[in-house]
């Protein structure tokens, strides 16, 4: 059964704030790099540029995922969110991590003088404040999706676009601290290697985040099953129905954030089903009165009634479960 589902645009505001924030920060950091020539600041400029491009891709995924189902895509376009988030994660790995690590290695091999001025630290401080704000917006949106879930459960089962912003902004905060430390160590020691090391460390952090996000979106694109607690709740609701003996098989997949597809096979309780059908059985029995021809007519009528009653009960159970668990967009209950 398909449930009429009004799609909530999950992750929009966290991605939008991160997009605007990273674009502004990227411009500031590039100004800082132009003034100082710092490899670490160049790494941070590329970092923010990569984040801006990646969040633009996340926005594409969000907008495409809310398209309504059609003949070509019966279950909707929710998987678009995961695909574009995967593309974004690949961008972090190749553009963000690759370029910054390469630049850091180049700086170690061919060090250049860095011009340090107070404006550099002001830029880093402003960047830290803006990144903190976008991180907080993303975390608040993820937290609001399930107030009772633990941090681990939110990061495992939450919206991958919002989680991508959290990871990216979290690493961005660490990146600003790393850039600050590498420039400060360069000032204190006069050793150019600190600047290159800062760039490599930032690139390494980006690579780790990219791998985590690639793996998360790969799982969703491979039809990841719904959370275990939701599965247990659905099975409990099914087996609480008197007409269902037990759940034989249960399969599920996540179509989009907060949109599930469930298919299960159940064994019906024949005795309880008979109770629902026996209202007129006594009258039918008396009408037959040992007449074989009448018995055959009764058997035909009875056999016709069974699938209709079973179908009605299945529809009722599906509607009841979808009311209890609104995230179930499609549910198919079959008799084993």
**328 forms bridges with which residues in the sheet?**
260
DSSP codes of every residue in 126-163: HHHHHHHHHHHHHHHHHHHH-TTS-HHHHHHHS-HHHH
Best-predicted range by mean pLDDT among 187-191, 291-295, 298-302?
Answer: 187-191
As a whole number of Å, the end-to-end CA separation of the chain is 17
Rounded mean pLDDT of 39-45?
Answer: 79
Rounded mean pLDDT of 161-184?
Answer: 87
User: What is the token pair recorded at 9?
Assistant: 């645009």
Is 191's pLDDT higher than 60? yes
Rounded mean pLDDT of 8-27?
Answer: 84
pLDDT for the residue 281: 66
Is 4's pLDDT higher than 60? no
Range from 84-98, 146-160, 245-259 carrying the lowest mean pLDDT: 146-160
CA dihedral for 244, 228, 318, 299, sign (positive or negative): negative
How many angstroms separate the CA atoms of 313 and 241, rounded?
10
Higher pLDDT, 117 or 98: 98
How many angstroms separate the CA atoms of 310 and 222, rounded?
33
Among 276, 247, 252, CA closest to 336: 247
How many angstroms separate the CA atoms of 33 and 114, rounded?
9
pLDDT for the residue 237: 92
What 3-state class would DSSP assign to 10? coil
Is 100's pLDDT higher than 50? yes
Mean pLDDT, rounded, of the chain:
83
Q: State pLDDT tens for residues 263-290.
A: 999 998 877 777 766 656 666 666 777 7
Q: State pLDDT tens for residues 129-149.
A: 998 999 999 898 888 877 777
- Long-range interactions of 230-237: CB distance < 8 A, separation 24+: 230/260, 230/325, 230/327, 233/324, 233/325, 234/262, 234/264, 234/321, 234/325, 234/328, 235/264, 237/320, 237/321, 237/324, 237/325
Q: Are strands 259-268 and 244-256 parallel, antiparallel or unpaired?
A: antiparallel
Alpha helices in the chain (DSSP H): 12-36, 39-65, 79-91, 99-109, 118-145, 151-157, 160-189, 193-221, 228-239, 270-277, 281-288, 292-324
Q: What CATH number does the domain located at 228-335 have?
A: 3.30.70.1350
Rounded mean pLDDT of 116-131?
Answer: 86
In this prediction, residue 2 has a pLDDT band, given cuts at 50, 70 and 90, of: low
Residue 17: Cβ within 10 Å count: 21
Q: Is the CB of residue 64 less than 8 Å from the CB of residue 31? A: no
How many angstroms separate the CA atoms of 250 and 1, rounded?
15
How many angstroms separate the CA atoms of 329 and 253, rounded?
11
pLDDT for the residue 6: 47
Q: State pLDDT tens for residues 201-226.
A: 988 988 998 898 898 888 888 888 88
Q: Is the CB of residue 162 less than 8 Å from the CB of residue 3? A: no
All structural domains of the chain with their residue ranges: 12-221, 228-335
pLDDT for the residue 198: 86
Tokens 């961008």 appear where? 91
User: What is the token pair recorded at 103?
Assistant: 């630049």
In this prediction, residue 115 has a pLDDT band, given cuts at 50, 70 and 90, of: confident
Looking at domain 12-221, its CATH superfamily turns out to be: Cation efflux protein transmembrane domain (1.20.1510.10)
Rounded mean pLDDT of 255-263?
Answer: 88
């Amino acid at each position: 059964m398909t449930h009429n589902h009004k799609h909530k645009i999950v992750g929009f505001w966290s991605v939008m704030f991160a997009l605007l924030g990273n674009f502004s920060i990227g411009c500031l950091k590039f100004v800082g790099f132009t003034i100082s020539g710092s490899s670490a600041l160049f790494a941070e400029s590329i970092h923010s540029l990569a984040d801006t491009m990646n969040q633009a891709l996340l926005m594409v995924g969000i907008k495409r995922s809310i398209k309504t189902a059609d003949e070509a895509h019966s279950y909707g376009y929710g998987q678009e969110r995961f695909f574009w988030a995967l593309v974004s994660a690949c961008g972090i790995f190749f553009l963000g991590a690759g370029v910054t690590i390469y630049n850091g290695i180049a700086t170690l091999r061919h060090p250049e003088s860095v011009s340090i001025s107070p404006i550099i630290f002001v830029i880093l401080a402003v960047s830290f404040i803006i990144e903190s704000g976008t991180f907080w917006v993303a975390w608040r949106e993820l937290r609001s999706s399930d107030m009772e879930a633990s941090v681990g459960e939110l990061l495992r089962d939450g919206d991958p676009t919002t989680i991508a912003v959290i990871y990216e902004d979290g690493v961005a905060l660490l990146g600003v601290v790393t850039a600050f430390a590498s420039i400060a160590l360069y000032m204190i020691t006069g050793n150019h290697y600190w600047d290159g090391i800062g760039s490599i460390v930032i690139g390494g952090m980006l690579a780790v985040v990219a791998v985590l996000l690639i793996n998360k979106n790969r799982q969703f694109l491979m039809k990841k099953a719904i959370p275990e607690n939701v599965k247990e709740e659905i099975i409990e609701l099914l087996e609480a129905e008197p007409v269902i003996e037990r759940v034989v098989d249960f399969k599920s997949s996540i179509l989009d954030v907060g949109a599930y597809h469930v298919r299960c096979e159940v064994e019906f309780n024949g005795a309880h089903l008979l109770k629902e059908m026996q209202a007129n059985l006594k009258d039918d029995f008396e009408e037959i009165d040992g007449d074989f021809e009448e018995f055959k007519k009764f058997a035909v009528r009875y056999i016709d009634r069974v699938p209709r009653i079973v179908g009605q009960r299945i529809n009722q159970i599906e509607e009841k479960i979808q009311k209890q668990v609104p995230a179930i967009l499609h549910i198919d209950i079959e008799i084993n």
